[in-house]
Amino acid sequence: MSLYGMMRTGVSGMNAQANRLSSVADNIANSNTTGYKRSTTEFSSLVLPQTGGNYTSGGVTTTVRNSITQQGDLRFTTSGYDLAVSGEGFFVVQDAAGKTFMTRAGAFTPDDQGRLVNAAGFTLMGYSYANGVPSANANGFGGLVPVNVNLNEITASPSQQGVFSANLPAAATPVPAANLPSTNAATAQYTSKSSLLAYDNLGREVILDVYSTKTADDTWQVTIFNQADAAPDTSFPYGAPALATQTLTFDPANKGKLAGGSADSVTFTVPGGQSLTLDLSGMTQLGNTYSVGAATIDGSGPTTIENIEIANDGIVYAQYGDGSIKALYRVPLATVPSPDQLTVLPGNVFAASALSGGAQVGFPGEGKLGSIMSGALESSNVDVAEELTNMIESQRGYTANSKVFQTGAELMDVLVNLKR
């Protein structure tokens, strides 16, 4: 037996138990840390080759593992910016240096610039709707931008799409060509009139006068003017030509709907604004009075964001003062083939490693990523009672190994004194 080997084994045992106590200390200290994943110290024996009848003691080595895939309990809060993942996905966040990480710590709050930042200072990342409906970059973090919910921002949205449908009276008398609204003469006549509200590039209101005029059997003319150009008290003549004119033809054999070859929309430029396409496919000609069905045009005037809502599918909606709702961002979730092999970094964030595999990004609801819950946080998955039990076991193990070392040291003293 080697006394030196015995002492070395005792030291390795004390070191292993010290490592276990360190992980226990971390777990207990972070038992209330949002999204924290407990670490465990696994022991493995170190056996040295044996020669002859002598036994050479080896020792023990340790490996720290993190229970990243074990989800903590969800607790609900009063803040809509608090987010939790119910599933295997991770939020994608970025530090001040622009490096991207993954985390389950979703206690976000707006900073002075409106960006959603969690308690560790990491900014939530998402895909913007500025250039249309976003799609996830499946094999990386490209295209992500900080999610900004600046409530002080004043925005306006110009009109670009609209729908107008109405029933036109089949018994109406046709108007002569010289008196059609499109001629913009003082003698202009029309069958029916409606007004629609649109918005220009600056969010200013533009009232559109929409005239529907029967020109012949089953044939109607739709003419659109800017009400601001109307003559006082008379409308006609307007101070500018019509913004658009469209001819509609109807099929009496098909319940008075538009004929197959008829136009079903009209496109024109809103004064001071964008090109607007007005869908007329719902127009009908029936034996009834004039009545408007659908009349909607998108866009909004200058307004501020009153509230932010984050849906389970990760879409961040802004509710404006005028009641309109607009999608601003979509928050993705990320995962890796082996989450428990992720590299754990300060700030309760994770980075992909060679053992975990590369990051894959998708939207909530896809595969095993799970869904996002607003107004909730994921608690630490630490069981304090279990950690206290582990601490007592490690304490006793450390003491026992110290006795082994102490015994070896005493025997070494005996061996040295034999020569004196």
Strands 371-374 and 376-378: unpaired
Buried b (16+ CB within 10 A) or exposed e, 378-417: bbbbbeeeebeebbeebeebbeebeebbeebeeeeeeeee
Per-residue pLDDT, averaged over 149-166, amounts to 88
Distance between CA atoms of 248 and 282, rounded to whole angstroms?
A: 11
> Which tens digit of pLDDT belongs to each residue from 375-390?
999 999 999 999 999 9
Distance between CA atoms of 317 and 187, rounded to whole angstroms?
A: 49
pLDDT at 50 over 90: no
Can you state the angle between helices 3-29 and 384-417, rounded to 10 degrees? 160
> What per-residue confidence (pLDDT) applies to 2?
74
> Which tens digit of pLDDT belongs to each residue from 390-403?
999 999 999 998 89
The label of the residue with tokens 């909004």 reads 300
pLDDT at 222 over 70: yes
> Which tens digit of pLDDT belongs to each residue from 121-131?
999 999 999 88
41-50, 67-76, 93-102, 166-175: which range is least confident on average?
41-50
pTM attached to this predicted model: 0.71
Distance between CA atoms of 161 and 204, rounded to whole angstroms?
A: 16
The domain ranges of the chain are: 3-70+381-417, 80-143+310-368, 159-298
Distance between CA atoms of 216 and 247, rounded to whole angstroms?
A: 11
> What per-residue confidence (pLDDT) applies to 48?
73
> What per-residue confidence (pLDDT) applies to 148?
92
Domain 159-298 fold: Tick-borne Encephalitis virus Glycoprotein; domain 1 (2.60.98)
> What per-residue confidence (pLDDT) applies to 420?
63
Distance between CA atoms of 218 and 375, rounded to whole angstroms?
A: 57
Peptide bond preceding 237 in cis form (omega within 30 of 0): yes
- Amino acid 148 reads N
Residue 52: band (very low, low, confident or very high) from pLDDT cuts 50, 70, 90 = low
Residues forming a β-bridge with 407: none
- Amino acid 112 reads D
Specify the length of the chain in residues: 420
User: 126: closest CA among 327, 404, 329?
Assistant: 329
> What per-residue confidence (pLDDT) applies to 251?
94
Which residues, at least 6 apart from 305, have a Cβ–Cβ distance to it below 8 Å? 149, 150, 151, 153, 155, 318, 319, 320, 321
Per-residue pLDDT, averaged over 235-251, amounts to 95
Q: Is the separation of the CB atoms in 147 and 374 below 8 Å?
A: no
